[in-house]
Amino acid sequence: MTDRAKARAARLAALMNEDGTVTPAEHLPEGLLTESEDVGATYLEALTAETVGEGLHAVRVESGLETPEVLARRGLSKGRLSQLERPDLNPQLSTITQQADALEYDVTIVFTPRQKDRRAVRVEVKPASNH
């Protein structure tokens, strides 16, 4: 994990209470954080994945699937799977959605505005049909 990711994880961990609830940071509007108990750990892991490759690796680990099963689902070699999970790879969106689909995950792209007077735009990305 990079220093930047460690710092981000530490900031997020500081918001977590001992009982598993989350205390919003002072700059967040009230009600912005979700109350769902199962979101915390997954969201923290997602936030610490700084590259698509690291994210794909985290998804594979979180899915609990063994490497041979993932390889069989996608028809990949072990070397290609390793390539996909490298932090320096910039895979095509179709590759990302196919890998996520094989791991039973959906892909969502969120365009987050830099200016506070704009709303975020969320796009659900579906894997291409194999027909």
Domain 3-125 belongs in CATH node 1.25.10.10:
no
65-114 pLDDT, tens digit per residue, is 888 998 999 999 999 999 999 888 888 888 999 999 999 999 988 888 88
State the pLDDT at residue 101: 92
10-21 pLDDT, tens digit per residue, is 666 666 666 666
Band (pLDDT 50/70/90 cuts) for residue 35 is very low
Distances (CA, A) of 6 to 15, 36, 115: 15, 24, 26
* Average pLDDT taken over every residue of the chain: 76
State how far the Cα of 56 lies from the Cα of 108, in Å rounded to an integer: 13
